[in-house]
């Protein structure tokens, strides 16, 4: 709890977020039946310019006709610097039914981009008498977007989540890599030689700074931080490692750019029974300590204090939400 109250975005389970090209109707049908917590129907980078109009029609039809169960249903529109975005917003907001939960805005650079989208949605909702306010999720994937991430997070009451778009971010910052996410063999620390002259290389996470910044901006505005794509879908262990790093830092979920990544994300972003049991033990121990007038005690040889209760409660709350 902060002295300046934080308004939390609507609470939704967002462990896995499946990306589906709007140009492929078979994939759209399969996505509706998947185990993903969230699905975004893509009008942006997975769709060739010649397919944009058809993809828009497919996506609207899929929202209106398929059974999406309790999934978060989102559409990734084209970005503010394209000539497609206005048509995406107008057609979607005029023709897609109220099952649409969110619009995902890629390539967002600043709060003005969010304002422009908000204004269009507000006008169309009023004109069409839409009852459900559509929410926003933003992909932080440009150098400017990361610089202005706080302003973006604060720019609309519709905001629900911030996502790390690692591929475009790498392009925008001219990072020396062509892969989508994951570690890089050149991003290492070389240890000093030991007595035998041997040196080790320790791999680092070249995305650490960006993701931490996104997590902090998201949390300080009550939004969900979500890690973006991991391109090598034939490397489940690599995906799991990246997802674990994101989870440890506070992310609530990660994209699945292939159906095989859905179960991995659902698993990584569900607190384990062991973690939850430990969290409950902390809460019980601290409640007992507080009754005795103590603010800090030791549990299993480790110090715990009032901050430990908050950490533990976050874990237990997430596990209860998942069970519900």
Under the rule (CB under 6 A), what is the footprint of ligand GLV? 106, 139, 141, 165-168, 228-229
Q: Which does 228 bind (CB under 5 to 8 A by kind): ligand GLV, Mg ion, none?
A: ligand GLV
Considering the complex, what minimum distance in angstroms separates the CB of residue 178 from ligand GLV?
A: 13
Considering the complex, what minimum distance in angstroms separates the CB of residue 132 from ligand GLV?
A: 26
Considering the complex, what minimum distance in angstroms separates the CB of residue 159 from ligand GLV?
A: 18
Token couple for 95: 């023709």
Considering the complex, what minimum distance in angstroms separates the CB of residue 228 from ligand GLV?
A: 5
CB 154 within 8 A of CB 162: no
Strands (E), the chain: 16-21, 38-42, 72-76, 102-105, 135-140, 159-164, 188-190, 201-203, 224-227, 253-256, 296-299, 302-305
Nearer to ligand GLV, 17 or 168 (CB): 168
Nearer to ligand GLV, 106 or 135 (CB): 106
Residue 88: strand, helix, or coil? helix
227 counts as binding Mg ion under rule CB under 5 A? no
Among the residue ranges 139-147, 196-204, 258-266, 315-323, the one whose residues contact Mg ion (CB under 5 A): 139-147
Q: Which does 166 bind (CB under 5 to 8 A by kind): Mg ion, ligand GLV, none?
A: ligand GLV
The C-alpha R_g of the chain, in whole angstroms, comes to 21
Considering the complex, what minimum distance in angstroms separates the CB of residue 171 from ligand GLV?
A: 8
Identify residues 155-194 at the interface with Mg ion (CB under 5 A): 165, 168
CB 203 within 8 A of CB 179: no
Residues 167-205: b if buried by 16+ CB within 10 A, e if exposed: bbbbebeeeebeebbbbbeeeeeeeeeeeeeeeeeeeeb
Q: Which residues bind Mg ion (CB under 5 A)?
A: 141, 165, 168
């Amino acid at each position: 709890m902060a002295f300046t109250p934080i308004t939390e975005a609507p609470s939704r389970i967002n462990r896995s977020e499946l990306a589906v090209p709007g140009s492929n109707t078979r994939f759209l049908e399969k996505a509706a039946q998947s185990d993903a917590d969230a699905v975004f129907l893509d009008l942006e980078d997975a769709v060739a310019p010649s397919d944009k109009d058809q993809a828009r029609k497919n996506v609207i039809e899929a929202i209106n006709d398929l059974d999406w169960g309790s999934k978060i249903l989102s559409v990734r529109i084209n970005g503010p610097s394209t000539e497609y975005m206005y048509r995406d917003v107008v057609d979607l907001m005029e023709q897609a039914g109220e099952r649409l939960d969110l619009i995902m805005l890629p390539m967002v650079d600043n709060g003005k981009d969010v304002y422009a989208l908000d204004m269009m949605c507000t006008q169309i909702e009023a004109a069409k008498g839409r009852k459900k306010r559509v929410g926003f999720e933003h992909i932080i994937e440009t150098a400017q977007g990361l610089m202005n991430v706080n302003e973006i997070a604060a720019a609309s009451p519709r905001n629900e989540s911030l996502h790390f778009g690692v591929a475009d971010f790498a392009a925008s910052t001219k990072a020396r890599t062509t892969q989508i996410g994951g570690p890089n063999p050149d991003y290492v620390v070389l240890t000093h030689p030991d007595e035998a002259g041997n040196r080790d290389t320790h791999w680092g996470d070249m995305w650490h700074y960006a993701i931490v910044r996104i997590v902090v901006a998201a949390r300080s505005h009550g939004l969900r931080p979500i890690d973006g794509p991991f391109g090598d879908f034939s490397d489940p262990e690599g995906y799991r490692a990246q997802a674990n790093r994101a989870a440890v830092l506070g992310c609530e979920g990660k994209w699945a750019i292939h159906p095989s990544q859905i179960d991995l994300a659902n698993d990584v972003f569900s607190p384990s029974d062991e973690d939850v049991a430990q969290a409950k033990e902390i809460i019980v121990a601290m409640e007992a300590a507080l009754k005795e007038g103590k603010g800090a005690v030791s549990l299993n040889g480790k110090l715990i204090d009032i901050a430990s209760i908050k950490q533990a409660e976050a874990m237990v709350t997430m596990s209860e939400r998942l069970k519900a």
